[in-house]
Structure 1
Amino acid sequence: MALVTILSDFGDNDYYLPAVKASMLSINPQLNIIDISNQIRSFDIAQAAFILRSTFRDFPKGTVHLVAINTTGGMAEGYIGVKLEEHIFIGPNNGILSLLADHEPGIMVKFADLHLKETTFPAKDILAPIAAKVASGAAIHDFGGPLQGFKKMISRQSKVTKDQILGHVVHVDVYGNLITNIRKADFDKLNPGKYTIDFNREQLNRLNHGYDEVEPGDCFAFFNSLGLLEIGIYHGDGAGLLGMKMDSIVYINFET
């Protein structure tokens, strides 16, 4: 039996999350349901996509991921199931599932009208039952046919030249650390040995290996476990103290 994960903007203080879990457990009480996060900012597809893209591969292949972000806003585009890298994703066709990888899913299914209901709570009444049945052994093909209109969103990419990498902050974590879309692979390919990292009136000329290589209150920069450049202030709220936020620009300038 597959695991089921939940990613939502429900929070933990309302009835939405337990209602969705109850819907799945009423179909199969043996399901193992794991929360990825239910603290996504309301309707924030970019934040949800970053967290899901950063974590789904750490779960066993075959895991079913229930994605409940802006599900009521997805009624016009419909609800879908996709198979990507041996993982199954169940959610609205609102673009979030197009941001999980740099390639399209191998299988995409649009759920048939037979499985859709008139509801103000589609995560509970539409998506949860399908996720529970797929995790219990059903195939996503059992619930619909090939998806033709896969809604796509384009994530912001870093700009790379031989002299510079220009990137943007794509995520601010709970500590105020700023994660960018500058990839270690690009840096390693271009790095001549001397460079500066420039962001909002700050400049660093070295990379760290971890947070504690600088003194509390000092800036750090390193490539994190995702292979992305992360900057911040040790034991401080980097976003607030540096005056940076989502989409702020970060440069790496190479000196030849």
Structure 2
Amino acid sequence: MAIITLTTDFGQKDHFVGAVKGAIFSEIENVNIVDISHYISPFHLHEAAYIIKNAYKSFPKGSIHVIGVDSELNPENKHIAVYLDGHYFICADNGIISMLTSEVRPEKIVEINIHDRFTSNFPVLDVFVKVAGHIARGGTLEVIGKPITETKELTGIRPVTSNQSSQIIGNVIYIDNYGNVITNIDRKLFEEVGRGRDFIIQARTVKFDKIHRNYSDAINFDAPPEKREEDGKRIALWNSSNCLELAIYKSNLTTVGGASSLFGLDFRDTITVIFTPKL
């Protein structure tokens, strides 16, 4: 049975998600449709890229991932189908796929060229669903598009080093449901540049000198509950994606707030890691 995932900025208020699912069921007899997220911020390419990057690997090889974010066809926003890491991705060539291709080389990319068969202005519903159906039935990508070798790159997804590798300058690329701030600084780069040196992480007026593996690692559970520093505890950690994350322990956006609001951080804001020179 084919597995098709959906990642969009459609939300759930309108008919879009239901219509796309209906079209998939009409196109493919036996299919399992999985919603990854329909709450991507409108046209937010970095959000979409981060979410699909961290979700697709949990699915079986051969899964088909439809990404409906900024998908309207125009001369600067072509449609592509990509075979990468044993998975298929159908999306616009707007940079979303570059967060995946920066780590895994795609085996095949085609620019979709079947648009003359459709008259609507809802490409996820018609073009993307038709391509997904073709792939699910064992069709090759060359039938629905012409091979290409490059896709657009998202800016701001890679941090930079400066001052003779004494600093890493990164950016906020995602803010999750808890208000936690995820950066584009990954553990591999941090360890390569840091080489075991002491460091300070600076984000506006907030500073950290330790990075934890888990949220609860920042709490001293040897102390009696009434003496523990828990509420509002500031934490830097390596999250499940091995990205540097700044968080508040057990944050609640409806009451005390989260790291994004309490630290005054938003998408693209700068996060700097300063390493102490070894004597």
Match of 2:183 in 1: 180
TM-superposition CA deviations, 1:158-217 (whole Å, max 9, x none): 122432222111111110000111111122232434222221112222222221224220
For residue 208 of structure 1, the aligned residue among 209, 212, 221 is: 212
Give TM-score scaled by structure 2 length. 0.84
What is the letter of the counterpart of residue 201 of structure 1?
A: T
* 1:189-208 pair list within 5 angstroms: 189=192, 190-208=194-212
For 2:110 and 2:11, how far apart are their aligned partners in 1? 28
Which is worse superposed, 125-134 or 176-185?
125-134
For structure 1, the residue ranges without an aligned partner over 5 or more in a row are none
The answer on whether the counterparts of 1:191 and 1:254 sit within 8 Å (CA) in structure 2 is no
Which is worse superposed, 107-116 or 22-31?
107-116
What is the letter of the counterpart of residue 34 of structure 1?
A: V
What is the letter of the counterpart of residue 129 of structure 2?
A: A
- The Cα shift of 1:115 comes to 5.7
User: What is the percent sequence identity of the aligned residues?
Assistant: 29
For 2:165 and 2:70, how far apart are their aligned partners in 1? 40
Match of 2:27 in 1: 27
For 1:187 and 1:31, how far apart are their aligned partners in 2? 42
Q: 1:124 is paired with a residue of what secondary structure? A: helix
- The Cα shift of 1:153 comes to 3.1
For 2:44 and 2:178, how far apart are their aligned partners in 1? 19
Give TM-score scaled by structure 1 length. 0.91
Match of 1:100 in 2: 100
- The Cα shift of 1:104 comes to 4.8
Which is worse superposed, 201-210 or 107-116?
107-116
Match of 1:59 in 2: 59
Q: 2:52 is paired with a residue of what secondary structure? A: helix
For 1:114 and 1:81, how far apart are their aligned partners in 2? 13
Match of 2:147 in 1: 146
For structure 2, the residue ranges without an aligned partner over 5 or more in a row are 220-229, 252-257
Q: 1:13 is paired with a residue of what secondary structure? A: coil
For 1:134 and 1:149, how far apart are their aligned partners in 2? 21
What is the letter of the counterpart of residue 205 of structure 1?
A: D
Which is worse superposed, 61-70 or 99-108?
99-108
Aligned CA distance change for structure 1 residues 149 and 117 (closer, same or farther; 3 Å): farther
For 2:97 and 2:195, how far apart are their aligned partners in 1? 33
What RMSD in Å do the two structures reach over aligned CA positions?
1.9
